[in-house]
Amino acid sequence: MDLDPTHLRSLLAIVRYGGYHRAAEALHLTQPAVSRHMRQLEAQLGQPLFARRGRGVELTPFGERAAAELGDVLAVHDRAVARLQRRGPDAGPFVFGVIENLIDPVLPDVLEVVREQIDGRGLQLRVDRSYYLVERLARGELDAAIVIQPGDTPDPIELGAITLRWWASPALAALETPPDPLPVVVYDPPCSLRDRGLAMLDELGLNAQLVAESPHLTGVHAAVRNGLGYALLAAGGDGLRPVTAGPLAATIPARLWLLLAPPHRSLAAPLRAALWRATTRRAHPAAA
């Protein structure tokens, strides 16, 4: 069986962005094209990958396995292509990494600035967690990345901050007193967001109980939407509500770091300005 990398890319984009429409926008495809890719991939694999949930979709149990396995396949494919193409600073597309939690809040503004700065060079987006983006930059597979945890990357540039808050289903978010033990939904480790959330609960004196883990944002959203527990996120999603009362109403500012390959240091100032515009607009939507 030969699987088309384009179909795998559509699968992973749906997982990362939480739906066909957003995946199509991110891939610069039409939604019918992404739907066709999934029908063809499901026909090859012999089982459904997604199930409808409200206005969005959720991975089936088979889809969870397929996304993990095929994500590894596509990553190996992309690494090989990147190494073959990158003969110099201007060869191949500009590869830009960004953490999942920036997709809804600020990604459009950031991508607009990147496109303005790369002088017509193609742009390739890589959405992943901070730990893996840092690794990819160190291997020369990325030109730039925005992360929450810069690791050992030399000369990280602070861009500003985003606000992390607790999200839950409407029923859980409305509780004046959170359950004890507190059901918590987290990313799989390694994950700085997971570590910060658990540390915050410990400081608040709340007894955390991990009830769901996922390698993807869509999995975290699905577990929270179905009432399994609370999650610390930069933004919510369909069926999620911010907790506005009790100890979980507290927020955490998370610093964002820009990691740049040496030829692209000029991106620092315009990206910092783009992030400020995007976060200000979210804080004051009436003025946007």
Domain ranges of the chain: 1-85, 90-288
- The neighbour count for residue 139, using CB atoms within 10 Å, is 11
3-state secondary structure of 245: coil
Query: What b/e sequence results for 168-179 when a residue is b if at least 16 CB atoms lie within 10 Å of its CB, and e otherwise?
Result: bbeebbeeeebe
Is residue 143 within 8 A of residue 94, CB to CB? The reply is: yes
Q: How confident is the model at residue 4 (pLDDT cuts 50, 70, 90)?
A: very high
From the CB of residue 90, how many other CB atoms can be counted at a distance below 10 Å? 11
Task: Round the average pLDDT of the chain to a whole number and report it.
Answer: 85
Q: Confidence class of residue 205 from pLDDT cuts 50, 70 and 90?
A: very high
The reply to whether the predicted model has a pTM over 0.85 is: no
What's the chain's length in residues? Answer: 288
3 state DSSP class of 232? strand
Instruction: Read off the pLDDT of residues 225-277 as tens digits, 9 standing for 90 and up.
Output: 999 999 999 888 788 999 999 999 999 888 889 898 877 777 888 877 777 77
The confidence score (pLDDT) of residue 60 equals 93
Question: What does the block give as tokens for 32?
Answer: 């019918």
Q: Output the 3-class SS for 2-51.
A: CCCHHHHHHHHHHHHHCCHHHHHHHHCCCHHHHHHHHHHHHHHHCCCCEE
90-288 has which CATH code? 3.40.190.290
Q: Quick check: 284 pLDDT over 70?
A: no
CA gap 81, 76 in Å, rounded = 9
Backbone angles phi, psi at 103, to 5 degrees: -60, -55
Percent of the chain with pLDDT over 90: 41
Tell me if domain 1-85 and domain 90-288 are identical in fold: no
Q: Which CATH architecture has domain 1-85?
A: Orthogonal Bundle (1.10)
The pLDDT score that the predictor gives to residue 265 is 79
Inter-axis angle of helices 20-27 and 31-45, nearest 10: 110
Contact indicator for 239, 169 with CB cutoff of 8 Å: yes
Residue 94 — φ and ψ, nearest 5°? -80, 120
Find residue 93's DSSP bridge partners. Answer: none
CA distances from 206 to 78, 123, 217, 218, 223 (A): 42, 44, 24, 26, 20
CA 167 vs. chain centroid, Å, equals 16
Higher-pLDDT residue of 167, 52: 167
Structure-token match 């509780």, residue found: 175
